[in-house]
Chain A
Amino acid sequence: MKRFLKCAALFLAPLALLCGVFFAAVWRSGELCDYEAGAHASAAGEISLFGLAYRDNTASFKRAAANDVKADLLVLGTSRSMQLRGQFFDTDSFYNAGGGMAFLPQAAAFLEALDEDARPERLILVLDQYFFNEQWLAADNASSVPDYTQFADPDPGYLLHAFFDAYSYGKYRILDVLQTPADVVGLSASARGAGFYPDGSYSYGTDATGDGLDPGFADSINRILTASNRFEHGKVVAQQGVEDLRAVLDVCREYGIEVTAFLPPYAPSVWQYMQDYGEHTYMTQIYDTIAPVFEEYGYEVFDYSYLPETTDDQYLDGFHGSDRVYAAICARLARDSQFLSDVLDEARLTALFEQDGPPKVISFGE
């Protein structure tokens, strides 16, 4: 037995040491943090960048933070709303709750889950085009509503393994992670500079300075061809989507929230590819279908699916614009929107959009 134990110990010791070093990195990166506490600290500005790599409770995070911030101007949408920065708006009472929903019914649920005094006066609602796609809406969880009070507990075993995997892809360096600043939480934030700012908007970190998330939009094209993952085919606007929209607008009307909505942009070449491919014709019908609905409620909606002033290299992937694209969107909103014209300066936003520098990055001069 002694010989076996000695051999086993000799064999396992280096592996244990290796695991120990990586576990120290896991701990130092903040991946084991209390998620809810992180949401409150982020909203209070105590965390400059919150980006966990291996847990995703964005909906609960945004609700907790939005409840703390109690912003007059709130942004709500999927990941395609997260680049609307507080610095674009001339107001301090702003929070980007983007990522707090994945399906349109969840927008209403999010607003209802906010405390009464945390509900905004004005809402920027970002309407992903596939909210009006029949196949997308047929997904099993299309009508599900997350539990906004639920925060995932960390699984140390899974985290350790995931850390090893990420290291093997060269996603981080151990020494860098071990030196993570105290106000940066999570491996994504530490290793890539990716995560949520205190205003709720999102930084893509090194992905924004490199080739983006989908070089050449190969993945987006594959999704178009395989009718999958937000690029499902559709010839006409799904009526269910319009009903879901009405339900959201009903909630906004009930709470006295003024709504400005827009359809977010695709990368120009991806948009053109879809038009040429001919299986996504529903997208060009959405605005004409929903504009009357918004008019009925006294709200406003704009179609920014294709922004000719933007270029492909300003997009992270086929359907996520960078900060620069969202500066362009805000410049358009400054011009088009009646409700937001007092908090948006078209000239300043246009200057931000046209600023010299990397195509996906804007400097706010801080």
Chain B
Amino acid sequence: MSFTTFSFGAFFAAVFCVYWALPQRLRKWAALAASAAFYAPFGARSLAVLALCAAASWGMGFAVAARRDSRARFAACIALSLVPLALVKYAPGMFGVVGVSFFTFKIIAYLAQVRAGEIEPERDFAAYALYVSFFPEITSGPIQRASSLLPQIHAPRAFDADKALACGQLIVWGMFKKLMIADNLAGYVQKAYDQPDLYIGPSVLLAMVLYSVQLYCDFSGYSEMAVGMAGLLGFDVEDNFRMPYFARSIREFWAKWHISLSTFLRDYVYFPLGGSRCGTWRTAFNLMATFLVSGIWHGTGLTFLVWGLLHGVYQVAGRLTRTARSRAWSALHIREDGALASCVKALVTFALVTFAWIFFGAPSLERAFDVLRQIPSGFTLSVQTAKNAAAMLGFNAHTTLRMGLAMALMFGVEFLARREGVAAWLAKRPAAFRYALCWALCLAVLFWGAASGGSFIYFEF
């Protein structure tokens, strides 16, 4: 079930009613049953794999806790945990298991936290199973840590109306980003990626930029809905995105994009390799290795590998040139932390990220290079060229206005809320403003949202 369907809405409404109607001690079971019911339509085999992984990793938690000092035991448990993910991704003929990338990392994070002594192995299998399979998070994250979610499962909170209203607003915001922006942009972007040689360079470039926006709105919109839904059931989930396209460096970008994954990779790949506490070249190696893992986690194709390695190169280059860049700002007499420098840095970061997304979004390396090769074609800087570029992708005056307004609203609100997050920012606005904004977002989705909502892009990982 996709979050943006009426059937899911009815399902969640039923879960919400049952959950809060039950006594506190039974709510865990209600959430677990809802998670099973949510996951079941993906197939009995997928459900069996999920159940098996939950059961096996629950047992492994005790094994790891019994010998926390045994690296071999821990490594074996991690290796076993990775088997389903490896099979799904790489074994020919293997059936897909929805969310395997996400719940595998949740399991690994749990085992790592048990080994580090941050938490004790979970004795309650139902609570553990709920942690692994929690339905707002299972298909596309966030990859919430056990130390964050398990205590909440054991001590569910009383219903908080203010929090629930804030979560409802966050869900509306996420739906707006997904249905109004991401799904509408998909139709325009896909054409240029499918046959780049049929479009002029500016069209291809526009499609690249719009793909960046589409991917962000698709994924962050989903995450916000997930956070909102978990919140409506009384669970706090950390934000997964914090306005990453305003980041002023690639390093900052990764502190703001898919935060649950980047912190996972930081804590369980980068730091164990030595992080930045080694020499320059070892640090560079650690960064490259971490982003290589990120690329592989996202997909099996060479394109994901290239995408991951590109970000590794960006990080390494960023570290190596930090001093030189500071000197350059000084030489230009521009404050490095000033508005002008921040703008330039944000634009450069966005350009680098957008370039890398070409490989992320292309079905093959060959297609990615086709896209790149096409960029200089017919490239002139003029208003007419820009109009032609948009028209070739299928934009007309109406759709340009709608999408322009939607994206301006999205970026405007997120810029204003960049320090505290959209939910917290909205909570500080007057009630009338919040209601008006949410009504406007709902009306935009109803009237202008893509009629056939697409699946979430990260659902495929």
Contact = CB atoms under 8 A, between A and B. Distances in A.
Given A11-B439, A226-B198, A3 B161 contact: yes
Nearest to B451: A162
Q: Which of A11, A19, A169 gathers the greatest number of chain B CB atoms within 10 Å?
A: A11
Interface string A1-38: 10110011001001100110000000000000000000
Nearest to A219: B394
Interface residues of B, number: 24
| SS class, residues of chain B in contact with chain A | helix
Contact of B451 (A15, A18, A158): A158
B438 interface: yes
Contacts of B5: 157
B433 interface: no
A167 B447 CA distance: 7
Interface in B336-375: none
Interface string A236-278: 0000000000000000000000000000000000000000000
A165 B449 CA distance: 7
A21 B451 CA distance: 18
B452 A164 contact: no
A161 B446 contact: yes
A165 B6 CA distance: 17
Contacts, number: 49
A7 B448 contact: no
B168 interface: yes
Contacts of A18: 446
A168 B195 contact: no
A14 to B, nearest CB: 7
A167 to B, nearest CB: 7
A102 B435 CA distance: 49
Contacts of B20: 1
B272 to A, nearest CB: 44
Nearest to A2: B161
Contact of A11 (B198, B435, B449): B435
A107 to B, nearest CB: 29
Given A3-B161, A4-B161, A226-B198, A161 B442 contact: no
Q: Which of A18, A158, A168 gathers the greatest number of chain B CB atoms within 10 Å?
A: A168
A228 interface: yes
Interface in B368-408: 392, 398
B168 A8 contact: yes
Contacts of A3: 161
A226 B439 CA distance: 41
A7 B166 CA distance: 11
B40 to A, nearest CB: 21
A258 B5 CA distance: 51
A227 B446 CA distance: 35
Nearest to B448: A168
A5 to B, nearest CB: 9
Contacts of A226: 195, 198-199
A250 B20 CA distance: 69
A222 interface: yes
B90 interface: no
Interface string B1-44: 00001110000000000001000000000000000000000000
A125 B173 CA distance: 53
B159 A161 contact: no
B165 interface: yes
Nearest to A22: B446
A167 B85 CA distance: 46
A18 B439 CA distance: 12
B164 interface: yes
Nearest to B232: A4
A169 B398 contact: yes
Given A161-B449, A168-B448, A222-B392, A11 B438 contact: yes
A1 B159 contact: yes
A254 B370 CA distance: 49
A169 B448 CA distance: 9
B446 A4 contact: no
Given A164-B447, A169-B398, A228 B198 contact: yes
Given A162-B451, A165-B447, A167-B447, A157 B6 contact: yes
Contacts of B165: 4, 7-8
Given A11-B435, A168-B448, A1 B198 contact: no
Contacts of A4: 159, 161, 164-165
A11 B438 CA distance: 9
Q: Which of A7, A225, A228 gathers the greatest number of chain B CB atoms within 10 Å?
A: A7
Contacts of A164: 446-447
28 contacts: A1-B159, A7-B161, A7-B165, A8-B168, A11-B168, A11-B438, A15-B442, A18-B446, A19-B446, A157-B5, A157-B6, A158-B452, A161-B449, A161-B451, A162-B451, A164-B447, A165-B447, A165-B448, A165-B449, A167-B447, A168-B447, A168-B448, A169-B398, A225-B198, A226-B195, A226-B198, A226-B199, A227-B198
Interface of B: 5-7, 20, 159, 161, 164-165, 168, 195, 198-199, 392, 398, 435, 438-439, 442, 446-449, 451-452
Interface of A: 1, 3-4, 7-8, 11, 14-15, 18-19, 157-158, 161-162, 164-165, 167-169, 222, 225-228
Q: Which 10 A-B pairs have the closest CB atoms?
A: A168-B447, A226-B198, A4-B161, A157-B6, A162-B451, A3-B161, A164-B446, A4-B164, A164-B447, A161-B451
